[in-house]
């Protein structure tokens, strides 16, 4: 495996608000596989347009097709970015883990620029992974986002926000889902 690549694809890690800490499965995948984290200029006060522009910059740096691996606000980034970017054809698929409901009344003010949720179908294969007890998104809202994005829904049991606190370690089940996107079959497709 070439550093930063997986089965002839680039893997780009898209953390959510405040970035992913050292114990997070995204950080563990970055260390273990050499995959590239898309580093944002401002993790504290994320602005949707700035994050979208940064993803464009990273995708422009190489013509190699990419797999996007998003967590939390990174999922909302993928949805918003894909509705506006001309670089969509550079993305082969997206693993969208624990999308937050940024339209909830109790969202922190730092996330107001992420409203409304972009609900357009994604133009590439995608899987939304949810937890039954995610404190930032009710299961039915996550299922609704998956349907609107045209994503396959993979509902897990009670794993919180599917982050370091969930105790997933290297999260081999997540890697298996990513492999399914790298080697698409009839069960995983863009709608």
Given a contact cutoff of 8 angstroms between Cβ atoms, the answer to whether 99 and 134 are in contact is no
CB 154 within 8 A of CB 177: yes
Q: At what angle do helices 73-84 and 139-149 cross, to 10 degrees?
A: 20
What does the domain layout of the chain look like in residue ranges? Answer: 5-182
Q: Homologous superfamily of 5-182 in CATH?
A: Alpha/Beta hydrolase fold, catalytic domain (3.40.50.1820)
* pLDDT mean by block of 10 residues, the chain; 191 residues: 67 98 98 97 97 98 97 98 96 98 95 97 98 98 98 97 97 96 59 32
pLDDT value, residue 54: 98
Other CB atoms within a 10 A radius of the CB of residue 11 amount to 23
Secondary structure (3-state) at 11 = strand
Are 106 and 136 in contact by the 8 Å Cβ rule? The answer is: no
pLDDT the model gives residue 153? 98
pTM of the model: 0.93
**Strand locations in 38-183 (E):** 66-71, 91-97, 125-130, 152-155
Is the backbone of residue 16 left (phi > 0), alpha (psi -120 to 50) or beta? beta
């Amino acid at each position: 495996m070439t550093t930063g690549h997986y089965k002839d694809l680039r893997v780009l890690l898209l953390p959510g608000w405040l970035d992913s800490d050292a114990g997070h499965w995204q950080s563990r995948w970055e260390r273990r596989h050499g995959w590239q984290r898309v580093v944002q200029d401002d993790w504290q006060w994320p602005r949707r347009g700035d994050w979208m522009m940064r993803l464009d910059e990273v995708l422009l740096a190489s013509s190699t097709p990419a797999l996007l691996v998003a967590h939390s606000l990174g999922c909302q980034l993928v949805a918003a970015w894909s509705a506006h970017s001309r670089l969509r054809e550079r993305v082969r698929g997206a693993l969208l883990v624990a999308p937050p409901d940024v339209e909830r009344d109790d969202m922190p003010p730092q996330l107001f620029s992420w409203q409304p949720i972009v609900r357009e179908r994604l133009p590439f294969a995608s899987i939304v992974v949810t937890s039954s007890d995610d404190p930032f998104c009710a299961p039915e809202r996550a299922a609704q986002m998956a349907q609107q994005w045209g994503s396959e829904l993979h509902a897990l049991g009670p794993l919180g926000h599917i982050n370091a606190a969930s105790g997933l370690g290297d999260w081999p089940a997540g890697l298996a889902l990513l492999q399914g996107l790298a080697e698409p079959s009839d069960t995983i497709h863009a709608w």
